Structure formats: structure tokens, C-alpha cells
Chains A and B, each alone.
Chain A
Amino acid sequence: MKLLQGVLVSEVDGEYVAVTLGKAGKKFNGMIRMNGTAAFLVQRLQSEQSEESLTQALCETYDVSAEEAAQNVRMVLDKLRGAGLLEE
């Protein structure tokens, strides 16, 4: 899976906001506020990923257990899927 083209993430002072353009903007017209972990996953999803590859990347970068990481990944993917922003 990967993110639709046209999802950009803006960061100020630890606040992350994703905006959508073009095709992605037609699917989801609005902004998504997220924390640093979610933003990290969103950046990864600019290229093809699996749930496993995202969980692994999260574990390598942050000090979290595999279980916590997997849970986080699922949560973020659910949100993105709900917004129609994933290409699977």
C-alpha cells in the first residue's frame, strides 16, 4: 500500500498537519492533524509499504515495543483508509 499522490505534510513546532492536493484533495478535502509518529508513517507511505515494513521502521526509529508499534501503525492506517487516502 501507499499514499495517494498529493498528500503533503507541514510541520511547525512539533505540530504536523497533512493537506491534500489534486486527486487526493478530491477524495479528502480538509486537513489531518497528527503527532510526530503518525507524520513519520505518512512520510514512509509516500512509497510502497506493508503493515510489517511500517512496524519495523517504527521500531527502528522510536523506542517502542513491537506490539505498541503494530498498534500505532494499524491506527494510522485506519485513519488514512477512512479518509480514502491509501492506494492498496
Chain B
Amino acid sequence: MQNVICLFAGIKVKINYPYPSFERFAAEYLLPVDAAFDMEITVSEADVFCERDGAEGHYSDAYLQTLAVYRKFCTAAAERGVLLFHGSALAMDGNAYIFSAPSGTGKSTHAALWRKVFGNRVQMINDDKPLLRFFEKETLVYGTPWNGKHRLGGNFSAPLKGICFLERGQKNAVRALTARESLTRLLSQCFLPDDESAAQAVLSMVKEIVQKTPIWLLTCNISEEAARISCAALTGKREWLSEEGINGQTEEFTRE
């Protein structure tokens, strides 16, 4: 067993693990070896083996180990208000927004369009599996080492101001989702622990998102217009939005 102490979503966690290279994987998030910690988790070889069952294709033990660590951490941290949400999270002008969708829809592609259109006003927090942490006043989105195949993201956090679900379409349109419409979509993109009380904590956090965070549905193609439209919705320039959502109003957006 080897061990490291990491800082994930503001929680200092000591991690005991069997296979090499977790230290390198989490390099940006390491604390000194003698740091005090808030919680301790231990991942066994059996835990790593379990991950092989759920994974499609053949992966190295080192990779499966990272999955086992994240599963244990997110289960243990759920009752401290930490939630793993599947999506591409970025910060614009200091606020965090998340694009979410089933794998393969184009979350990362859409986030890349934002970087192209808005340049250095946009920083990637995490391109795949950011952590959300719920505080009384706000919910913060944190970068983590689990940041997708392109390893995009950074070790920083920003307050969550909106979530945008993506669907592919011929044209670009955005509309607000109601609480009822949001629930299944959010639940399907959250990590749900097998432990019942941790899972209950996750359900409460999802409910909190529904109640506090504006949630949008963007139907989009791969174009700069798509990025401008989702940006107008997420950043709160709702004067651009009609009841049915935005359609073909790029002229006004480009004036921004």
C-alpha cells in the first residue's frame, strides 16, 4: 500500500492505494505527506478489480484504480455535501457553468466552442467529472484530476450559476427546463453511491440544484452561434429569450 494526501473539493483526504502512479495522476492536488486530513479512504486490489466489471474494454490497473478512488471518495464525501456531476465545467468571468449530456453528445465540443468564441474569458474547470460542493450560500464547482481524455481543467473552483443540457439538432435553440423536467436529467448524470445514506445525500443535493440553479436545454449544432446562444442563456441575458427559446437571434448576440 502507498498513500497520499489530496485536497479534493476543499476536503483533505488521505488515500491508501495498492498500485503505483496515483500520485502522478493527482499531482496537482497533493498536500504535504504530513498534512492533517479530514477523512481517510483505502482502496484495495479487490476494489480495483470490481471496476473492471463495469468498464468497457481493457484498462490498466492504474486507470481502474483511479476510478475506484473516485468512487470511494465520492461515497464518503456525499454526506459532507460533495457531488460528482458528469459534464464539462468551465468558468467565465469568474462564474461556473456546466454542460451536461449523455456521453458522445458533444459536451467537450461545445465547451471548446466557448473557448474559441470567448477566448481567455473562459477557463476550463473540468472537462468530464467535476465535483460540486454545497455550501449554505452557494454551490462551488471544483476541478479534479478526473478531467476527461484530453485532461482539460485546473485546480480551482467557481460558483455554479447554471447547468445546460445538450441535445444535438439541426438548428440552435435554448429554453429553460422546469424543475420536473430537470430531475431525471440531473439524476442520470450524477454519481449515485451504492451506500444508502450516501445516496440519500446525493438525492438531497440534486434537489438543491433543481431549486437553486437555472437549468437549460440547448438543442445545438457545432457552430459559434450555438456557443453564443447558450452563453446568452447561462449568463442571464434573458432579454434575448422568448417563451419558445431563442431562434436565429445571432445578430443581437454578436453585438455583445
Contact = CB atoms under 8 A, between A and B. Distances in A.
Given A13-B180, A14-B180, A21-B194, A8 B187 contact: no
Given A8-B203, A10-B207, A15 B183 contact: yes
Contacts, number: 49
Interface of B: 178-180, 182-184, 187-188, 192-196, 199-200, 203, 206-207, 210-211
A36 interface: no
Nearest to B204: A10
Interface residues of A, number: 16
Interface string A13-34: 1110101011001000001010
B147 to A, nearest CB: 26
B178 A13 contact: yes
A15 B180 contact: yes
Contact of A15 (B179, B195, B200): B179
A10 B206 CA distance: 9
A12 B210 contact: yes
Nearest to A23: B194
Contact of A31 (B180, B188, B200): B188
A17 B190 CA distance: 14
B84 to A, nearest CB: 15
A6 B192 CA distance: 11
